[in-house]
Amino acid sequence: MASRNLTRTKVRSVLAALGIVIGVVAIASLGMLGASLRQQATQDLGSIGDQLVVYPSSDSGEYEPLTDREVREIERVATGATVVPLRRQQHSVSFGRQESHMSVYRMAKPGAPYSANMGRVPDPLRSGALVGSETAEQFDLEPGNTIAVNGSTYRVRAVLEEQSSYSPVDPNDAIILPFDHSNRNYSQVIVEAASGQDANATAMSIKGQLNQRERTVSVFEMSSYTEQINSFFGFLNVFLLGVGSISLLVAGVSILNVMLMSTVERREEIGVLRAVGFQKRDVLKIMLTEAALLGVFGGVVGTVLSVGIGALVANVAIQDPSIVLDASNLQYLALAFGFGVGTSVLSGLYPAWKAANEHPVEALRG
């Protein structure tokens, strides 16, 4: 009976359901967009949350580079972790007629944090140079080429894979060279632990051991980036869901209006139903079923559209449309569908109560 009543006023029912469709699409699509962006950002971070960066403390106002003794102490404390000391400099780099000033990192074990896109990363690095992806593109370099760094020549051993912008050392537009044994001071040390939990424990151990007498080093935990990203996208998701919820509230008002109009137009019908023995709860059930059917119809259509729109947006934003079927995104589809049906039922409560409480005699008079 409820479905038949809705089909009698098809245009009005479709327009009421359209509001639910728009609300469901808004909530699901915006929720999936936020979740997809957070997942992509987390993937870009990769295992960066397992890394620490140890660098000289500048509390005293003077910059003192890390020494061999301090690096050995870090290696002793960071049990089970990979320790990569390095020194950062700025040098003139030339290849053929091209010349540029860029960052040059000197490290002995580049094979720990980096891998090659072309060529091979020797570990340890004793000769030659490793070039970042942007540097290779800028100079049109490939393994076997010879470059000049501050007047000294080096043969390119490998072109490195592009690194995340969150990497503690960004070699994309830089060059990595072996250590110059005449200078064994270090600007920082990268420590890569087995897990984020181990990284936190290692950070505490390093600070406790090296800062016993005075603050010698500072330790930056890369996992803080992950926490900041999760916090930001958590807030963004709440905001986007709030925006989408507004459209569902508007749809709820539309359904309330439709159901009230239907109650007025069907007073005589309701009176007949009460006269032939229908109880208040029966009338209430019919009216609420109509509201629920509007919600289910709008929710199903909105969910299907949300999947299509979400895949399109994901393809444009992160070039991966399949991410909309990830479990974290499917929960937004379920949330939007449930919210749509719930809004419809709540919007139909007052009209249903009003219809159920119509006096049969008064209703028959119209």
| Residue 166: per-residue pLDDT | 65
| Residue 146: per-residue pLDDT | 92
Whether 232 and 281 share a structural domain? yes
Whether 237 and 358 share a structural domain? yes
Structure pTM? 0.59
Neighbours of 171 (CB within 10 A): 24
Q: Please report which confidence band the pLDDT of residue 29 belongs to, taking 50, 70 and 90 as the band edges.
A: confident
Judge whether residue 309 has pLDDT over 60.
Answer: yes
Cβ partners under 8 Å of residue 264, min gap 6: none
Whether 235 and 153 share a structural domain? no
Q: Show which of 204, 222, 240 is a domain's final residue.
A: 222
Whether 208 and 67 share a structural domain? yes
Task: Express each pLDDT in 179-205 by its tens digit.
Answer: 876 677 888 888 888 777 788 888 888
Structure tokens at 358: 């119509």
| pLDDT above 70: percentage of residues in the chain | 80
Range of the domain at 259: 2-44+227-365
Judge whether residue 148 has pLDDT over 80.
Answer: yes
Total structural domains in the chain?
Answer: 2
What is the spatial distance between Cα 77 and Cα 207, in angstroms, rounded to a whole number? Answer: 10
Judge whether residue 366 has pLDDT over 70.
Answer: no
Judge whether residue 68 has pLDDT over 90.
Answer: no
Whether 101 and 143 share a structural domain? yes
Residue type, 231: S
Task: Express each pLDDT in 324-363 by its tens digit.
Answer: 677 777 788 888 888 888 888 888 777 777 766 666 556 5
Query: When comparing pLDDT for 335 and 225, which is higher?
Result: 335
Scored b (16 or more CB within 10 A) or e, 14-25 reads eebbbbbbbbbb
| Residue 154: per-residue pLDDT | 93
Whether 94 and 135 share a structural domain? yes
* Mean pLDDT over the full length of the chain: 79
Q: Which region among 38-52, 101-115, 233-247, 295-309 has the lowest average model confidence (pLDDT)?
A: 38-52
| Residue 271: per-residue pLDDT | 65
Whether 75 and 199 share a structural domain? yes
| Residue 78: per-residue pLDDT | 85
Residue type, 8: R
Whether 84 and 8 share a structural domain? no
| pLDDT above 90: percentage of residues in the chain | 6
Task: Look at the alpha carbons of 316, 319, 323, 325 in this order and tell me if their dihedral is positive or negative.
Answer: positive
Q: Please report which confidence band the pLDDT of residue 273 belongs to, taking 50, 70 and 90 as the band edges.
A: low
